[in-house]
Amino acid sequence: MAVKSLTTITKIRNWTKDEGRPLAIERVALRVLVVEDNAADAELVLRELRRGGFDVESKIVQTPSQLQQQLEVFPAEIVLADYNLGQWRGIEALEMLKKQAMDVPLILVSGAVGDVTAVECIKQGATDYVLKDSLTRLPVSVRRALAEAELRSQRRQAERDLVVKMEELARSNRDLEQFAYVASHDLQEPLRMVAAYTQLLAERYQGKLDDQADKYIRYAVDGATRMQTLIQDLLAFSRAGREGMELSSIDCSAVVNQALQDLEAAIHESDALVSQSDLPRLPGNSAQLQHVFQNLIGNAIKFRGSERPIIRISARLSAGSWEFSVADNGIGIPPEDSENIFVIFQRLHTREEYSGNGIGLAICKKIIERHGGRIWAESQLGRGTTFKFTLPAEAKESVAGDRAEAKAVAAAAG
């Protein structure tokens, strides 16, 4: 049962005199359940609460069956229970509250209870205890108990809200990924037709029309080709980190060697020198991590300066994760763009300067994060860039469920 917030309670203003000036006393409406087998003592408890600023609505019970009945029909905000009730003890009311999943504070109000017993009762869940010959502190104890209950209620609500938000975010991410997959998949066929016919126009009518027509045809062919590339990149991004997320123990040196083999032509053309230290074996997806290394090494070759490209690949163990470095001596990255480079379709250079659509690093970031790591860049403009990323040394459960989601996306896409 939720405890009513003290900010929404009914306020009644009673005016008294304090040194000749009116003083406003705020009274608090309170529903209290008194577990007491002595009617006179119960009345003393209620009277002390009224004197302490509470407008009390109360029910008095003596037996467990009466308590059970009132818990079902009376929305008590606090339970005040005598410890010794003849055939049973007031602390037993805690079990009844727990069985009904009611977060209602229970304060023991007893004539005689030893410190050891009182501490044991608090360990069991009692909020506080007050001796009957010290009832003046009861209102203070009740206010503190209500405040603590309100804080617990707010914390539980915040946790529930967080769970809902996380579920909504996960659902939104799945919907966006499914949309990207389906959209890019379905757009390819009509665009393929557009590209094919514009290329046919270029082949058949190039030079047979005026220069302006040739220029328009060239623009159409170039636009259709670039759109095909963009859609293929978008499809790759939507798939990255999702398809084939089965993890196995992989040799990162072998993964890098395979990436270098695929980049053999670019390495030969640029006369790049690539070196690697001993790389670890760790849990990961070989194909996807190969894509990461291939992209980072390829970027180091593409964005080279006037000197021969020198690329160094290394790894070190730190705090349960492997930190990889791919360092180059290329053109570098402006400090203000060190984060933007991982944003999808974010480009720092024109297409005339460097080819590409600005999606490679976004895919790398997605793959690394799916593996439970993170990626960043450290760079000096004109002096080179070091891309760093971490991978867990041991498998994490967070990636275990990705295969099912990937299958769901693929099934929805048809």
Question: If you average pLDDT over every residue of the chain, what do you get?
Answer: 80
pLDDT in tens, 38-92: 889 989 999 999 998 999 999 999 989 998 899 889 999 999 988 888 788 888 8
- What CATH number is associated with residue 64? 3.40.50.2300
pLDDT in tens, 163-177: 999 888 888 877 777
Whether residue 270 is contained in a domain is answered as yes
Q: Bigger pLDDT: 114 or 143?
A: 143
Q: Bigger pLDDT: 304 or 374?
A: 374
Which candidate, 49, 54, 100, places its Cα nearest to that of 74? Answer: 100
Name every residue whose Cβ is closer than 8 Å to that of residue 107 and which is 6 or more positions away in sequence: 78, 79, 80, 81, 126, 127, 128, 129, 130, 138, 141, 142, 145
What's the pLDDT score for residue 103? 87
Whether residue 59 is contained in a domain is answered as yes
- What CATH number is associated with residue 275? 3.30.565.10
Q: pTM (2 decimals)?
A: 0.49
Query: Final residue of a domain: which of 123, 158, 193?
Result: 158
Whether residue 406 is contained in a domain is answered as no
Confidence of residue 276 (pLDDT cuts 50, 70, 90): very high
Q: Alpha helices of 306-372 — where are they, by DSSP H?
A: 360-370
For residues 250 and 393, state if they share a domain: yes
Whether residue 140 is contained in a domain is answered as yes
Q: DSSP class of residue 10? A: -
For residue 333, CA distances in Å to 22, 254, 297, 344 come to 70, 29, 15, 17
Contact between 270 and 241 (Cβ < 8 Å)? no
Query: Final residue of a domain: which of 140, 158, 176?
Result: 158
- Domain with 115, as residue range(s), is 6-158
pLDDT above 90 for 327 = yes
For residue 21, give both structure tokens: 């000036």
Strand partners, 248: 284
d(CA 355, CA 237): 18
Confidence of residue 406 (pLDDT cuts 50, 70, 90): very low
For residues 253 and 120, state if they share a domain: no
Query: Final residue of a domain: which of 158, 182, 207?
Result: 158
Q: DSSP class of residue 310? A: E
Percent of the chain whose pLDDT exceeds 70: 79
How many H helices and E strands in the chain? 11, 13
Classify the phi-psi angles of 248: left when phi > 0, otherwise alpha if psi is within -120 to 50, otherwise beta. beta
Confidence of residue 239 (pLDDT cuts 50, 70, 90): low
Whether residue 191 is contained in a domain is answered as no
Q: Looking at the 3D structure of the chain, how many domains does it have?
A: 2
For residues 267 and 380, state if they share a domain: yes
pLDDT above 60 for 331 = yes
